[in-house]
Structure 1
Amino acid sequence: MDCWSVLELSSDADEREIKRSYARQLKNTRPDADAEGFQRLREAYERALQLARWRQEETAPAPASADIRPTGNLQQWSSLVELSPASVQPLAPPPVPVPVPVPAPVPVLWSLLDNLGADNLPHRWQLAQQQACTEPFLTRLLAICCESPGQHLAMIDWAVANLDWLTPWQRPPMTAQQEAVLVPGMLQKYRRELEGLLEAGQEQAFLERLADHCARPWLQVFDHRQHWQGEVLEVLHQQPWQAPLFEGVCQLFGWDDSRGMIPAPQWMWQALVERHTQEAFYQGLLAKAAKTTDTSPEAAAARLFLTPQSWRRLVAQVRHFEDTHWQACLQLSQTLASRFPTLVERLPRQDLLFWRALVPRLIGVDNWIRCSVGSGLALGLYFMPKPGYGPELALVVGLVCCAMLGILGMILLSTWQQAIVHLLLPDLWLTERLVPRRLNPRYYWLVLRHGVPHLVMLALFGFWLGGLGVLGYLGFVLIGLLHSRRIGQANPQYCARHPWLGALHWNHFSPWQPVYLVLMVMIVRVCQIHGLGFPLTSLIPG
């Protein structure tokens, strides 16, 4: 396809028609939407201009030679060339000379350029048109702006908006050097405007101003538009913004990662995409937290993380939380820690696991089974020195008694756990002041919730076996808490099928716990055989 078909012109079109056609088609052929079509239109435009100028040079008339007219007596001249006066045609009257416009004198031009500024430039331009000195005025204006573009940005902006500067149809034509001087200044001016709007938080005004700039004819030129996109990309990379603004900018420029329409540099674009994902996630959390009527676990977790409130209000908020709510809190904290760590600085609490201090610390059935078996062993040792009880009978009686105590203990424990929920705030206050943070970093153990049941168990062991019973129970529990190593790993399926045996499986215990238990049983039994009572095997004298 030749250049004339692309421009929809005949082959005899002049330079003015070519520029008009190019300007008209440039409005429909955007470089960001159809890069190949724009390149084809640009090449056709340059080729057509070249052909039109060649044609104009070839058809220009040669300089006219001086007219040679006969002077003197026409009869004498006619006799020499054997012509009669009748045969001589009268000469045509000389043509009327066409008045040639006289250029404005230099003083007039200098008066128009004297103290020229952005405030009087429109009026001076009108005067230049009236006095027929537009070309020298524009030439001199362009020279002034190129000499110090930083001081004349307002005049350059007016000329871009009203005189088609930096466009292919600019008059007078601009050289590449002049264009390289003016373009960066204009882009920096636009950039400062956008940065000011973002710093003020006016994102809607930012999008409107950006759309107004992008619609300017000089930014439809492919190279200018590429540089402009780079400036906008840097502004977004350096300034804070919300997800809707980034989506609006992408829609305005046609950026789409799925179609490969991405700006350069690529690393900055990828950073902005990740930041947009983060902002969209954060805005989604804010929207969930704002919907107070939403009772879903995700919305409750968002309100817990994003709403700044006191511990008393937090306790009241989580009072009716169930397992699904705590699971949503765990998932949200993991997402923030792994994918969006920079969002943590914008949360009321930087500790992502603060909510674990609010989780009810229930004493599991497994622990209670172990406590029941331990109570049976303690009761067996308690009955062994009694008259009429042998070791075998004492153990049997102890196990029977511990079964009844286990049932009663489960009932009391469930009642205690329901009651302690209302005392969670003072429980947290006591735990924070009585238990060192290094031993209980996440408030996993609470003084009232877990301390009271353990005190009851210590009292029972002290009543049955005295000081050695208290020491045996307390040492066994502390070894399990402080020594994290275990003998092995219990099979979850086996524990699910056999809860009693699974709770007592040796894989749950530290290697030192059975050693300590055997040692304490031997010490208690030796003391009983030798009649050592208060305070070793009995807390009551006599």
Structure 2
Amino acid sequence: MTCWNVLGLTPDADSRAIKRQYAALLKKTRPDDDPEGFQRLREAYEAALAWSAQAYDEAPEVLVEETGISLDQRYQAAMADGTLLLFEIHLLQRSVDGELDAADTRWAFETFNWMTAWQRLELPVALMQTLEYQQRTALQKPLYEALEQQHDGAFLAAYAARNERTWVSKYPHADWFNEWLARLLANNRYWSSAVFDAVCVGQGWHGGADHSCPADEWALLLRRQQAPLFLAQQRALAEQPPYSPQQRAARLLLAPMTLGQRRAFAQRLDEDDWQACQALSADIYAEHVAVAEAMPGGTVYFWQGWDKSLDTWPWLVALLLACVVGTFGQADTLHGNVVPTVGLGLLWSLAFAIGAGVAWQVWRPLAHQYRLQDERLSQRLPRWLSPTHLPLLPLRDLLPGGVLVAVLGYWFGPLASLTLVLALALIGAVKRPFMNQHTPWSVRNPRKTNLAIALCVVGGIALYGGLKVLDNHYLVTRNQGLQQWTERLCSRMPRTADHCQAPATQEQWYGQEAAQ
């Protein structure tokens, strides 16, 4: 340890700075408490004063910049008069302060072996740490910026320029640079096969047992190098018929479909398909950031929540309308029976909804077992049967839908079946534009959603009130349309009787006979 390290000063400090620093350290190092520490401090203080007096008295001209005198000439002069250490520290300070140009800095590094195992031990530790930080930062910055800008040429040029820094190939900086470069390529969002190949050649990375790339980063780098091939394979799977969970996962994530078509396709997936989606999404998220950001919502996990949701409300609404219309069609007369008829239709719709739901839960896994045959049959269907540009599956979609239409037609008549089909088509046409938004309409427009709910409630109450008024228009009140026995009873009762207060008219008593 040199006197300058003990004092915490640089060798170019003058006697005044040395004395001030010694006085400050003397307060912390008492002779009685630490005799050995005090002795080291005292010896360092005396040595520093002697060095300062000798250096500034004998060779001040070495530190003066003179036109026409090169660094090598001043170096030779410092060697001749014994002030080489002071000259080197002077250059070190100027390099840290950024006062040396690239050529002089390169000369100083080559001459004094800075940042190598052969540099002087007497050099100030603080200056050397600052120099090391500056040099490493200057090496890292262009490489990092080139990858951020996705500029292969700039990265390769900056990587080739590392050879001009002789310290990069020396221990321990060579190991540091090798590990930092591996982490940079492994974790950066941009990937270039050309850059990776060039770095492998320059750093000696290969598949052998003695290559210098860290094992964890090497495994990740190999995965990223193979990622373009992996992505091409997944895109090819997305274009194939979805006969396997992997093909269906690739189609959901990578096929050129709108968000609405993806939602419709997701309704056909089972547990194995969602596990395949999870695995593929993890690979894309880790290796293909740009592809993930181009997906709906800017995330590869745009489908989360779809695996636990069933979009059944259009069927419920259509089934309710079909049952109500079918009940009206079968009613003998609606004079005064509109509200009871609507209630009867709601009860039937509830019964059909429960029955259809139970049947669907049983049929869905059975139909999925024949998914391969179902997909092949769907290719033969006409395109007009695919409203979302996704071929309908005959066994999964058309067969249960046809059975429900037939049951409604048998129970209520053709009008109910036609209502079901038209209601589903109308809901699909209205709903389709909203399906292409990643965020639900209700979330994007909370005020409009609340207003729509309020209007539905008010409209339902108003509709019920209107139907009730219509029914009451056809219902007879007391003393209206009296039957034969009632007529005789009221005719014999006094006018003060409660149930005969309003006297009946001639027409009420005798009906058509009064008109004759």
- Give the TM-score category using the shorter length: 0.3 to 0.5
When normalised by structure 1's length, the TM-score is 0.36
Q: Give the TM-score, by structure 2 length.
A: 0.38
- Which of the pair has the greater relative contact order for Cα pairs under 8 Å at 6+ separation? 2
Higher helix share: 2
Which of 1 and 2 has greater Rg? Answer: 1
